[in-house]
Amino acid sequence: MYIEETGAGDGDIKVTVDGEEYTAEANYDLDGDGLDETVSVMTDDGYVAYVDDNADGQADLMQTITKDGQVVDQARFHADTGEWTAETPHQNPGGAPDGHPDEGKQMVMDTPQGDVQVGPATEDTNSDGIADTAVVQSENGNTVMVTDVDGDGSADQVVEITQTGDVTISHHTGDGQWTVVEQGQIGDNGQYAPNQVASATDDATWTFDEPEFQPKPPAPEAGPGDLCTGEPATSAKDSTWV
C-alpha cells in the first residue's frame, strides 16, 4: 500500500498504521454527500477503506471490502490509545467503491520492449475525483509518476524525479516511443522550476549570415613564350560576339 508521507492539506486524511502516522489524499466519497472522506486502497481481494467519519482530518474507521462490495472486516481508531479496535462490520449502502470504475485496474505502459503493467493509479493529479497516476520506484531509487491522461488505461505521461531533485517529463508519442518534453529541478523550497530552453525562433538560435563576396583571382599574365606570332588582330565587330 502506498500512502504519501507529506503534510496534511485540503482533502488530506491522517491515517495511523502500526503506530506510524501518514497522510493520504481522500479519493472516494463513501457516504454520497459529494465530499471525498475516504482513502480507498486497492488490494488483491478488493479494497481497504480508511474513512474520516467526523471530518476532523483523521481516519476513524477502517473497512476491508471485497470486490463485490461486501464489508468483511471493520475496525475503529481510538486517538487516545492510537490503536484500532475490531467491531462488527456494517455494510455500505453504495457497496464497493464504484465511483471510480478504473480504480485498482493495472495501468499499462507502452515501452520499446512491449506493454508493462505499472500498477493501479493511486493519485488524482488533476483534481477530477478519479485517480489517474501510479507512483512507483525505479531500480535506481528514483520516483516515477506514471499518468493516464485520457483515462484509456494506458500511460501518456511519465515524470521521473531523481534523489537529487532533477525532474524529467516525457510524453508517449508513438508505438513504444517516449519523448522528453521538459526538464527541471525541485529547489530547496520544494518548488519545481523548469529549465530554460531557447525558443526555436530565438535570434541566437537561428542565425543566417549572407555569404561574403569572394573576388575572382586575376588572370595570369602571358609570358614571353605564350605570345603568338602572325597577322595583327583587327577590331572585332559586335556581331562577332555571341
pLDDT given at position 220: 55
The residue among 113, 110, 118, 117 whose CA lies nearest residue 175 is: 110
30: region left, alpha or beta (phi > 0 left; psi from -120 to 50 alpha): alpha
Tell me, what DSSP letter sits at residue 71? E
CB-based burial label for 122 (10 Å; 0-12, 13-18, 19+):
buried
pLDDT given at position 115: 87
Per-residue model confidence as pLDDT tens for the chain (242 residues): 333 333 333 478 998 888 888 888 888 877 777 788 888 887 777 888 899 988 899 999 999 988 777 889 999 999 888 899 999 888 776 555 544 444 557 788 898 888 888 888 888 888 777 888 888 888 888 888 999 998 888 999 999 999 899 999 999 998 989 999 999 999 888 888 999 864 443 333 223 343 444 455 555 555 554 444 444 444 444 433 33
How far apart CA 200 and CA 218 sit, in angstroms, is 44
pLDDT given at position 166: 93
Residues found in the chain? 242
Return phi, psi of residue 90, to 5°: -120, 145
pLDDT given at position 60: 92
Q: Which three cell numbers stand for residue 134?
A: 501510479
pLDDT given at position 212: 42
Q: Which three cell numbers stand for residue 187?
A: 529547489
Helix (H) or strand (E) holding 53: none
pLDDT given at position 202: 39
